[in-house]
């Protein structure tokens, strides 16, 4: 085939999907979940209320939300045998690998109730994953720091229970800092969905084969772990720390990025869809100062991030390529101030994204028109040719 450009290849390989869940206008920097602007949801709603909205399509009544919350609280326990799964892993294991593996292991306890074509099984699995993923995540964190696992506390709300599982310990009582709790709930809302991103497309593709929701979510977690996707929030902190420790200064680092030295990128910048400021990044940046001040944390990496953003936004190289901060640019500084280790940042992204992944999987699964995913290919290899004859 002659005359095809990279764009054509890109076009040919992109199967289009229709969905009613999330709307993005990349040029205008607009993001809406089921029609509601992200700015309104982040300012007024809660993670669980938005999870219901994404999954069921409407904001829940107070009774519906209360029942949803109650169900989730009563599914937080992991099977005791599953807790032993963690002891087979090295304490150095990356929490995203632990998360994906543990979700696969979780599915082995529910093989009699995870039929993707049984609506009751789908409802039960939806609640089980919302309830248990945060517990698995906290256990991955505790495992990495050699601390004992705590049991979930069903008297606490979703976010406070998660914070206690991460930062509580067996030796003393734990009380949640309301600044921490509110900030984390808001950050989770900002991550809940983002239409056909790489990990959501993975969840839909795996689900389209008839694989169950656990298998699809486990695959989505692995897709999210890549540094060009959800792994970018961890890579941003590593980038900021390298700039600080090297003493090279922001200007010199930006020059290296522009020269594409060793493939170095400005992590947390750029986006496949947003060619304007990511509305989520704007909201995260707005709350960064407030959260750090509320937690009494003064982190020079936040000032470094702001300096980096300032220089990049004024530089033609980034303007010409329409590169702006994305959701990952400022989140890591806040997660660090909360006390999470850098390698837990993408796990927090996964907990936030779980409702969106499940909403898309259910939308795909319930659609009678759904066929098994099979991305198109444009063959650019050799024409037919024959094996040399003997002699
Ligand atoms: C997420 O899809 C989603 O919605 C994802 C997400 C979600 O909520 O699910 O929003 C979450 O994954 C956000 C993105 C996190 N990733 C990063 O921050 C990693 C750094 N960003 C880049 O790798 C990049 O911007 C991507 C992967 C995010 C987007 O890549 P594109 O749109 O394919 O851009 P491109 O590779 O075609 O680049 C266009 C130009 C190139 O330069 P030229 O070849 O034209 O000279 O821009 C340059 C690129 O080199 N470029 C960058 C850059 N991103 C693009 N240069 C420096 N630093 C960057 N970050």
pLDDT of residue 275 exceeding 50? yes
Nearest CA to ligand 1 atom 47: 321
Distance (Å, rounded) from C-alpha 29 to C-alpha 170?
Answer: 45
The residue whose CA is least distant from atom 39 of ligand 1 is 321
The pLDDT value recorded for residue 391 is 80
- Please identify which residue in the block is written with the tokens 């949801």: 41
Q: pLDDT tier at 38 (50, 70, 90 boundaries)? A: very high
Nearest-CA residue for atom 2 of ligand 1: 197
How many C-beta atoms lie closer than 10 Å to residue 21's C-beta? 21
Which of 237 and 17 is assigned the larger pLDDT? 237
- The residue from 94, 141, 328, 360 that is catalytic is 328
ipTM > 0.95 (yes/no): yes
> Does 94 participate in catalysis according to the annotation?
no
Distant-in-sequence contacts of 164-172, Cβ < 8 A, 24+ apart: 165/134, 165/135, 165/138, 165/139, 166/138, 166/141, 166/142, 166/339, 166/340, 167/339
Q: CA neighbours within 13 Å on the CB side: how many for 44?
A: 7
Mean pLDDT of the chain: 94
Q: Is 299 exposed, middle or buried (0-12, 13-18, 19+ CB in 10 A)?
A: middle
Could you tell me if the CB of 312 is within 6 A of ligand 1? no
- Does 356 contact ligand 1 (Cβ within 6 A)? no
Ligand 1 centroid–CA 149 distance in Å is 37
DSSP 344: G
Distance 14 CA to ligand 1 centre (A): 17
The CA angle 42-43-45, to the nearest 5 degrees, is: 70
Minimum CA distance residue for ligand 1 atom 26? 271
Can you tell me the distance from the alpha carbon of 336 to that of 331, in angstroms, rounded to the nearest whole number?
9
Per residue in 152-204, pLDDT (tens digit) is 999 999 999 999 999 999 999 999 999 999 999 999 999 999 999 999 999 99
DSSP letters along 226-275, please?
STTTTTHHHHHHHHHHHHHHH--HHHHHHHHHHTTGGG---TTB--SS-S
Count of CB atoms situated within 10 Å of the CB of 56: 15
Report pLDDT digits (tens) over 312-365: 999 999 999 999 999 999 999 999 999 999 999 999 999 999 999 999 999 999
Tell whether ligand 1 has an atom less than 6 A from the beta carbon of residue 280.
no
What SS3 class is residue 212? coil
The DSSP-derived string for 185-208 is HHHHHHTS--SS-HHHHHHHHHHT
Residue 1 has pLDDT above 60, yes or no: no
In which band, very low, low, confident or very high, does the pLDDT at 227 lie, cut at 50, 70 and 90? very high
CA-230 nearest atom, ligand 1: 12
> Does the CB atom of residue 349 touch ligand 1 within 6 A?
no
Tell me: pLDDT of 2 over 50: no
328 lines ligand 1 (CB under 6 A): yes
In contact, 5 and 38? CB cutoff 8 Å: no
Please tell me if the CB atom of residue 321 comes closer than 6 angstroms to any atom of ligand 1: yes
Protein residue with least CA distance to atom 19, ligand 1: 228
Ligand 1 closest atom vs CA 197: 2
Q: Is 255 a catalytic residue?
A: no
- Reported as a pLDDT band with limits 50, 70 and 90, residue 17 is confident
Nearest to 347 by CA among 99, 168, 180, 139: 99
Segment 113-135 shows an average pLDDT of 98
What was the pLDDT predicted at 250? 94
Identify the band that residue 31 occupies on the pLDDT scale cut at 50, 70 and 90. very high
């Amino acid at each position: 085939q002659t005359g095809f450009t990279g764009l054509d290849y890109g076009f040919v390989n992109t199967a289009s999907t229709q969905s009613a869940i999330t709307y993005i206008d990349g040029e205008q920097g607009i993001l809406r979940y089921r029609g509601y602007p992200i700015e309104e949801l982040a300012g007024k709603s809660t993670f669980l209320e938005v999870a219901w909205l994404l999954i069921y399509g409407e904001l829940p009544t107070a009774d519906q939300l209360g029942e949803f919350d109650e169900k989730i609280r009563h599914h937080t326990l992991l099977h005791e045998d599953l807790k032993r799964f963690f002891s087979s892993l090295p304490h150095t294991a990356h929490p995203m690998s632990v998360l994906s593996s543990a979700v696969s292991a979780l599915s082995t306890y529910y093989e009699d109730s995870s039929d993707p074509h049984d609506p009751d099984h789908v409802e039960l699995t939806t609640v089980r994953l919302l309830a248990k993923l945060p517990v698995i995540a906290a256990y991955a964190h505790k495992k990495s720091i050699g601390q004992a696992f705590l049991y979930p506390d069903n008297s606490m709300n979703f976010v406070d229970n998660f914070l206690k599982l991460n930062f509580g310990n067996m030796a003393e009582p734990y009380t949640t800092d309301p600044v921490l709790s509110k900030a984390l709930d808001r950050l989770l809302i900002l991550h809940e969905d983002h239409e056909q991103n790489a990990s959501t497309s993975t969840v839909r593709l795996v689900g389209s084969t008839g694989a169950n929701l656990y298998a699809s979510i486990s695959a989505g977690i692995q897709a999210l772990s890549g540094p060009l996707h959800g792994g970018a929030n961890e890579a941003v902190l590593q980038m900021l720390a390298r700039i600080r420790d090297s003493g090279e200064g922001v200007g010199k680092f930006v020059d290296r990025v522009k020269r594409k030295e060793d493939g170095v990128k400005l992590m947390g910048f750029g986006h496949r869809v947003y060619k304007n400021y990511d509305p989520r990044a704007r909201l995260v940046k707005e709350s960064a100062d407030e959260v750090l001040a509320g937690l009494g944390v003064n982190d020079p990496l936040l000032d470094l991030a702001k300096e980096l953003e300032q220089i990049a936004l004024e530089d033609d190289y980034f303007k010409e390529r329409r590169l702006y901060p994305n959701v990952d640019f400022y989140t890591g500084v806040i997660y660090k101030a909360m006390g999470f280790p850098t390698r837990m940042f993408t796990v927090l992204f996964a907990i936030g994204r779980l409702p969106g992944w499940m909403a898309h999987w259910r939308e795909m699964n319930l659609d009678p028109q759904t066929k098994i995913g099979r991305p198109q290919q444009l063959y650019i290899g050799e024409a037919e040719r024959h094996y040399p004859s003997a002699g």
